[in-house]
Structure 1
Amino acid sequence: MHFGQKINQLKTLLFIAIVISLASSCSNSSTKATYRSFISPLVGLNVKSGNDFDVKILFGKENKVDSVVYLIDTVKAISKTDTTAIKLTTTDLKLGNHLLTAKIYNAGESEDLTSNINILAAKEPDLYTYKVISKLPHDTSAYVEGLEYHNGFFYEGTGEKGSSDLRKVNVQNGKVLQRARLDTALFGEGITIIGNKILQLTWMDKKAFVYDKDTFKQLAELTYNREGWGLAFDGQKILTSDGSNTIYFLDKDNYQQIGSIDVYDDKGEIRSLNELEYIDGKIYANVYQTNTIVIINPENGAVEGKIDLTGLFPVADYFKTDDARGNNVLNGIAYDQAGKRLFVAGKKWPYIFQIQISRVK
């Protein structure tokens, strides 16, 4: 017998053994109902926040059950004594993915069925356009990762290995007044001002730094166990992004995570959230490598507005290589609370723009 023939014979014998084993198993459990799956909702169903959704399960030969308990995530939603269809509401659910479990009890035994739904924003976001109020000079060597306006000055966190720093900048002429350079092996990211301190992230280096706002003296080096992208401060807690559709909340004193929101519009998740700014009770976020800033409800993650900044700066004309055009995109949002002025920037752009936005839809 050839070796290949012997292998095929062994495969055949193994297959026969499996069939016999399955037949025996089915015979031994022939009196037990087999619950198969959810008919509704199908896995990954999108449901707008506030809407109800249908729930129905498909079960096996026996339709007699003692009870069915439905859970959303780990919280009991409803209990029934049969498997007839029901409706569940999304009113109190956070945006994002939720696990649905039907726990079926019969004759002292139980079986779990699972599905999941995605909760989207309840309505389409408002659309905004812009008007340029002024153009302010900006250092074209600054790969902008974080931008803040505070007491009449810009504060910038810049990126790229070998060039990353923290800087204080004259608003009117773009002159760098104060600087703290990062180690050349580090890639700087977002910054935010928290009282008399400045927090700065690094991209993939698992480090963050705390500085004295006035002297730029480094006060602490922190371990930061996710990618660093954007930062903002809402007066109570720190907001941070990591390029996903999640915004994390950190304690302002010990920098530990205390919560999060997942960001969705009425169509789906909004990923690549980058530089952040907290403005009049809303979170503004650059969507990386786009001309869009989204306006986010900090309570539930719903995108309530989108600002289209197409045409603000001719990246394709100014940067002459594909690599430069792809990298030096819109990034940087700062707000003058007292003067109600909104500023936006881009990586290595020659200007920081003061803009005024207006709703178009």
Structure 2
Amino acid sequence: MIKRDSLIQLLNYTGLKKPLGWLHFKLQTIGLPKITPSIVRALPHDQNAYTQGLTFHQGQLYESTGLVGASRLRQLDRLSGAVQQEININHEWCEGIAILNNQLVQLTYTSGKTLNYNPNNLERLSNGFSFKGEGWGLASCNGGYVMSNGSDELVFRNEQFIITSILPVTMNDRPLDHINDLECVGDKIYANVQFHNHIYEIDLFTGKVLRVINCQAIIARSGRRDFQDMLNGIAYLPETETFYVTGKNWPTLFEISIP
């Protein structure tokens, strides 16, 4: 069986990726509102950062990067994009992050555990959580966590990381698969999807996609090398009601406004 990324590479090589992707997207999203965000500012970003997740806490921006040997946890200056604090995570492939009760939780991809930190100094804590399956995206949500695992399901967990419910996500009554990084804002969840050039706004209670946020203009300004440097990383800043987004190995971090 041809793997998904190999198929995309083949279509890209033959010149069919864009027209087929456009047609597939149009068919998938018939009837859904398409929203174009505005770019508030573009900031420099480490092009070696394989971004897996972004989150805000008390006005500070945090980033988790992946790949074994390249996984990092960083605190970034939201006005300049500069790295203020950073630690290396050895022998792990790290994924999404969330902060709850003044504790930063970082997922691992296949190790079935979280790495927990003090967000003020990035000091590692000893009370990591365990979980089954893969870890992809993570966000704090309604006093607990919401987590993705690369499927069409969002897993809700309490403060102790125990599963409380599972929400299937659908777009026009079809499963929305390969959900990646997440951000929870009120009764909406904003999600990246692997290899997609859009952010999806999902109803927290029904799991239905409500709107599609078209990020093509952002990607055009991102400076990314190719489609494998996919859109990933969403964080919401309540003080400005704006989002910060980037992608894997992007040299640019964006602050955007979603109407």
Query: TM class, shorter-chain normalised?
Result: 0.7 to 0.9
The two structures, once aligned, show a CA RMSD in angstroms of: 1.8
- 8 Å CA contact 2:34–2:211 kept in 1: the answer is yes
Distance in 2, matches of 1:277 and 1:316, equals 21
1:332 lines up with 2:233 in the alignment: yes
**Which of 257, 264, 273 is the equivalent residue of 2:170?**
264
Shift of 1:298: 1.0
Which residues in structure 2 correspond to 1:1-361 (within 5 Å)? 124-183=31-90, 185-219=91-125, 220-252=127-159, 254-314=160-220, 318-319=224-225, 325-358=226-259
Q: Percent identity?
A: 32
Shift of 1:267: 4.2
**Paired residue for 1:54?**
none
Q: Deviation digits for residues 92-138 of structure 1, max 9, x if unmatched?
A: xxxxxxxxxxxxxxxxxxxxxxxxxxxxxxx9432211221210121
- 8 Å CA contact 1:159–1:188 kept in 2: the answer is yes
**Paired residue for 1:27?**
none
Distance in 2, matches of 1:166 and 1:301, equals 30
Please state whether the residue corresponding to 1:179 is helix, strand or coil: strand
Alignment gaps of 5+ in structure 1: 1-122, 320-324
Alignment gaps of 5+ in structure 2: 1-29
Distance 1:264 1:217, change over 3 A: same
Distance in 1, matches of 2:62 and 2:53, equals 8
Q: Greater Rg, structure 1 or structure 2?
A: 1
Q: Name the count of aligned residue pairs.
A: 229
Distance in 1, matches of 2:121 and 2:60, equals 14
Distance in 2, matches of 1:338 and 1:281, equals 18
Please state whether the residue corresponding to 1:331 is helix, strand or coil: strand
Distance in 1, matches of 2:33 and 2:58, equals 31
Distance in 2, matches of 1:237 and 1:228, equals 16
Distance 1:256 1:318, change over 3 A: closer
| 1:163 partner amino acid | A
Please state whether the residue corresponding to 1:311 is helix, strand or coil: helix
| 2:241 partner amino acid | K
4+ residue runs of structure 1 moved beyond 3 angstroms? 314-318
| 1:149 partner amino acid | F
TM-score by length of 1: 0.60
- 8 Å CA contact 1:315–1:329 kept in 2: the answer is no
Distance 1:274 1:180, change over 3 A: same
Please state whether the residue corresponding to 2:216 is helix, strand or coil: coil
**Paired residue for 1:51?**
none
Distance in 2, matches of 1:351 and 1:132, equals 12
Distance in 2, matches of 1:344 and 1:149, equals 12
**Farther-moved stretch of structure 1 (187-196 vs 306-315):** 306-315
- 8 Å CA contact 1:124–1:304 kept in 2: the answer is no
Shift of 1:295: 0.6
Distance in 2, matches of 1:239 and 1:352, equals 24
Shift of 1:287: 1.1
